[in-house]
Amino acid sequence: MLRKLIKYEFKSTYTIFLSMYIVSLSLSAIGGIAFRLMENRINMDLMGFFTNMYMGMYVLMIIAIMFLTIGLCVTRFYKSMTSSEGYLTHTLPVSIDKIIISKLITSSIWYLASSIAVFLSIITLISASFGIEVIQIYFARIFELLSMISVHKLQFTLAIFLFTLSIIATIAYTFLMFYSSIAIGQLNQKRRVLVSVCSFIGINIINNFINGFNFVFTVMKSSLRIDNIPSEGFVENAPRIIFSLLNNSVLIQLVLTIILSLVLFFVTRYIFKNKLNLA
C-alpha cells in the first residue's frame, strides 16, 4: 500500500516539477548560446549589462526552484491532510504512518531532483557559454583531487557515505519541521495557520539552539584532539586526522538529525491520528 501511496503522490505532482525542470534547463541553454553569439559582436559595456542582468535573473530562478519545491510539497501536504481533501485522505484503508511516510519520501525525492536539476542547469549554462571543454577540465581536476585523496580510501569512502546520509536526513528533517508545524496548528480550530507559523518558528529556534550547542561541542572536542597530537609526523598524518574529525562530526550531526526527525514524526503522527478535527 505504501508503494501505491507514493505512486499517487508522484502522479499528483510530477507535471509541475518536470515543467519547472524543463524550463530551467531550456533557459540555461538559451542563455549560454546567446552569450556565445553576442560575444565580440556588441559593445562590451552592453554585453556586461546583459550578462549581469541575465545572471541576476538566473540566480533568482535557481533560488526560486528550491523554494518552490519546498512550497509545493508543503502545500500538497497541507491540502491533502487538513483541507476538504483531507476527508478522503483520512478515510483510506491505510495507517497514518504510511500516509506521512509516503508524503515524506515523495517530498524528499523531489527536493533531491530539484537539486540535480539546478546542477545540470549550471552545467548546461557553462557548456553552452564556454564549450564542453571547460566542464571536462573542471571534472578532470576533481578526479585528480579524488585520486590524491583515495590514498585514505576507507576514511574517504566513509566520509562520502556519512555525508550522503546526512544530506538525506537533513532534507527529511526539514519537511518534518513543516509537517509537525502544520499538525500542531490543527490543535487550534480558530487560528490554525497562525499557530502553524508560530510552531515552525519555535521549532526552528529549538533546532538552531541544539545545532549550535552541537557545533560548539564538536569544535572544542576537535581542538582538544588536535592539541594532543605530537608535532612529529603531523603533516603526513594531516589527511587522516582531518577525515577522522570530519567523520566524527558528521556522524554526531547525523545521529542528532535522526533523533530530532523521529521526535517530529511521532508528534505529527500522534496529532493526525488522535487530535485531528477537520470540521
Collapse the DSSP code of 34 into the 3-class scheme (helix H, G, I; strand E, B; otherwise coil) and give the result. Answer: helix
pLDDT tier, 264 (very low <50, low <70, confident <90, very high otherwise): very high
Contact 264, 176 (CB under 8 A): yes
Please tell me the chain's helix, strand, coil percentages from 3-state DSSP, rounded to the nearest 5.
Answer: 90, 0, 10
| Residues 69-111: tens digit of each pLDDT | 999 999 999 888 887 777 777 777 888 889 999 999 999 999 9
Measured distance CA(253)–CA(166) in Å, rounded: 8
Which of 10-19, 42-51, 116-125 has the weakest average pLDDT?
42-51
Nearest to 166 by CA among 120, 211, 205: 211
Q: What are phi and psi of 198, to 5 degrees?
A: -65, -40
For residue 143, the number of C-alpha atoms closer than 13 Å in the C-beta half-sphere is: 6
Q: Provide the pLDDT for residue 13.
A: 85
For residue 37, the number of C-alpha atoms closer than 13 Å in the C-beta half-sphere is: 6
| Residues 134-178: tens digit of each pLDDT | 777 777 777 776 666 655 667 777 878 888 999 999 999 999 999
